[in-house]
Amino acid sequence: MIAHADTIPPARHPLVSFILRWVLTTNHKEIGTLYLCLSFVLFLIGGAMAMVFRAELAQPGLQFMTADFYNQLLTLHGLVMVFGAVMPAFVGLANWMIPMMIGAPDMALPRLNNFSFWILPFAFFLLLSSLFMEGGAPNFGWTLYAPLSTTYGPPSTDFLIFGIHLMGISSILGAINIIVTIFNLRAPGMTLMKMPLFVWTWLITAFLLIMAMPVLAGVVTMMLTDRHFGTSFFEASGGGDPLIFQHVFWFFGHPEVYIMILPGFGIASQIIPTFARKPLFGYASMVYATVAIAGLSFVVWGHHMFATGMPLATELFFMYATMLIAVPTGVKVFNWVATMWRGSMTFETPMLFAIGFVVMFTIGGFSGLMLAIAPVDFQYHDTFFVVAHLHYVLYPGAIFATMAAVYYWLPKWTGNMYDERLGKIHFWSAVIGLNLTFFPMHFVGLAGMPRRIVDYALPYAGLNLFATLGAWILGLTQLLFLYIVIKTIRGGEKATDQVWESAEGLEWTVPSPAPHHTFDTPPRVE
Amino acid sequence: MTKNRKQQRKQATLLVLLATGMFGFAFALVPLYEIFCEVTGFNGRTFGQTTASVEQFSQVVGREVTIEFVAHVGRGMPWEFRPTENRLRVRTGEVSETKFYARNYANKLVTGQAVPSVTPGAASLSLHKIECFCFTQQQLEAGEEVEMPVLFYVDDDLPADIGTLSLSYTLYPVPDAQVVTLDDDVQGSPTLILEHSEEHSGS
């Protein structure tokens, strides 16, 4: 059905051919592109929601929306960003780059790969259409706490549950594909400890996905049965306990946030050595640190629940375990810095985003350390201080890493160099925008402004206005990024195969743009 | 490539099993959580009826503790529900009684189920209820009022650093379909309701 080079193409309308090509592709590069496009569309949608509720928060009082609609927007913003922007972006990068980095012709399970992707547009259609359903969209935060979600959630909650099941299946199948690919399709000579760091971090992330996503599936299934099938997992009157929702959710939720950053760590470990013209410092310790972070991520979930009335011993355990994660994370940060130390550095756009990642993710890590200290978390919990923390680790963390990766590998994908001047403008305006948006949130949070509430006390007004202005600047930078990417796809200075002077790795040995099929015969790795 | 393919299939199967196992683990967390709470008392649940023995009534009494009584009415429950006394000074080992007042101010028969909770959680292991209105459903006719007793003692194994504990009840409405008649021999704590898979939907 699909035309090969050696058969006569069927006489189809070009549009039909186009659609069939993209719907039925099993090619890792095309599927990677699909994931990245979906991710960017959802990033813009999630961001637009943020623009809207930031408009409401610009001034105290209610200007544009009801409290309930505000809650719906922030719930969908969280869900779309977590499951629709960050995760698919990293999967898209994995699809594009892992086979090329290990010298494989494609992923191990190409048809499963296609299926994993195409579940997602359907899942997000379900999720986003909840805005137009009677009762409105889910309005209880992306964390779905019972009984707000079970007893008091709108009817659309069931569509959300179904959507989450679908997204979970997509992630789990994708993770299986990645693990089987990495274990089996490495070129001869590429031992595990010779793999690029991006491949290593994705291998570990894939295991986290397989272990954590099913727990989310379990807990939303319990939500569904509590809502409709007479169970009382979370209902005290039936012998259940709302608190167990939080335990099971965060047992998933904490590995989830590491799923959302580990590939970013891998990207930084690829880019910084290239532009510092020095090998990555401490390859082995980077691998072990990532494994340590992943393992520890399963025993710290209670730090999201410090204010629920847990006994002292429990609070202490979670506090110590959480602070412990800072150690391997610190090892990684020090190794990136050590890579740059006495390096021969240039500051092209990918490097700017990578260094911005290291600096500002670390800032987010510091607010995380503050939150880890259980007694003071009682002050910070459910305030904008948490919002500041999570956005610093997610925006300059996951998003900057993704953008760095896109700038870094776009010449390989398209054969064209992006516009360097525009790229730098994008970077610097994003830095200004995100810091103007999220840094003030530390202060209003410490001063007591609660999160997930549409209105706030008058003293918080000034900084909230700054944050809204910053958010709009940040929103505009996305359009600039879109323009840069489209411009690069359409043309630009021709890229060489090597692209970057000091780039190492198998992906730089194939032509730019990368041909549809690469490494049909595996290369020999020293 | 065939050998590789078989190996890949084996790995993929194992990973699917791991995912399925973790799905089951999420559900397993429910009974695990119950057991953990039973052993540690952390979530403040009290468990079932304690039988009183003759020895109990003549036991040497120990130190003084304060027990406070709290009452909540669950959503959709048209009753007034309050303790008759806010607190009691008791001695550990000593059997004491308190009463809770309830009045149905709706214009029809209503059935309710009280769910107890003890704070701090560690104290819940030491509070033993010999007789309690929470063991069974309570029915009141329209306008009827009642004083419901709780017969209890605080065991001497109460941690030394606890001087005050609270016994709180929340009264939930029982839908008509789940009303238990007097002939039924069902007796027990809210956890038994879960085990018998009786369906209680929060209204």
Q: What is the pLDDT of residue B60?
A: 64
Q: Check if B17 contacts A (Cβ < 8 Å).
A: no
Q: How far apart are CA A526 and CA A284, in angstroms?
A: 18
Chain B residue whose CA is closest to A151: B202
DSSP assignment of A365-416, as one string?
Answer: HHHHHHHHSHHHHHHHTTBHHHHHHHHHHIIIIIIHHHHHHHHHHHHHHHSB
Q: Which residues pair with A383 in a beta bridge?
A: A450
Q: Is A516 a catalytic residue?
A: no
Q: Check if B178 contacts A (Cβ < 8 Å).
A: no
Check whether domain A1-195+209-249 has CATH 1.20.210.10, yes or no:
yes
* Residue B190 to residue A172, Cβ atoms within 8 A: no
Q: How far apart are CA A93 and CA A97, in angstroms?
A: 6
Q: Please return the burial class of A149, using the count of CB atoms within 10 Å of its CB with bins 0-12, 13-18 and 19+.
A: buried
Q: Check if B172 contacts A (Cβ < 8 Å).
A: yes
Q: Check if A434 contacts B (Cβ < 8 Å).
A: no
Quote helix, strand, coil % in chain A, to nearest 5.
70, 0, 25
Domain boundaries along the sequence of chain A? 1-195+209-249, 261-457+477-516
Cβ–Cβ < 8 Å for A495, A512: yes
Pairing of strands B79-83, B127-132: unpaired
Q: Check if A147 contacts B (Cβ < 8 Å).
A: yes
pLDDT tens over chain A, length 526 residues: 555 566 776 678 899 999 999 999 999 999 999 999 999 999 999 999 999 999 999 999 999 999 999 999 999 999 999 999 999 999 999 999 999 999 999 999 999 999 999 999 999 999 999 999 999 999 999 999 999 999 999 999 999 999 999 999 999 999 999 999 999 999 999 999 999 999 999 999 999 999 999 999 999 999 999 999 999 999 888 888 899 999 999 999 999 999 999 999 999 999 999 999 999 999 999 999 999 999 999 999 999 999 998 888 899 999 999 999 999 999 999 999 999 999 999 999 999 999 999 999 999 999 999 999 999 999 999 999 999 999 999 999 999 999 999 999 999 999 999 999 999 999 999 999 999 999 999 999 999 999 999 999 999 999 999 999 999 999 999 999 999 999 999 999 999 999 999 999 999 999 999 999 999 999 998 7
User: Pick the catalytic residue: A39, A149, A157, A269?
Assistant: A269
The complex's ipTM works out to 0.87
* Substitution target from A229, A237, A251, A305 for chain B, most B beta carbons within 10 A: A237
Q: How far apart are CA A307 and CA A450, in angstroms?
A: 14
Helix (H), strand (E) at residue A351: helix A349-372
* Residue B29 to residue A184, Cβ atoms within 8 A: no
Do A1-195+209-249 and A261-457+477-516 come out as alike in CATH topology? yes
Chain A residue whose CA is closest to B32: A244
Check whether domain A261-457+477-516 has CATH 1.20.210.10, yes or no:
yes
Q: Is A329 a catalytic residue?
A: yes
**Among A217, A239, A311, beta carbon nearest to B194:** A239
Q: Could you give the C-alpha distances from A241 to A228, A247, A300, A372, B194, in angstroms and in order?
A: 17, 10, 21, 25, 11
Q: Check if B42 contacts A (Cβ < 8 Å).
A: yes
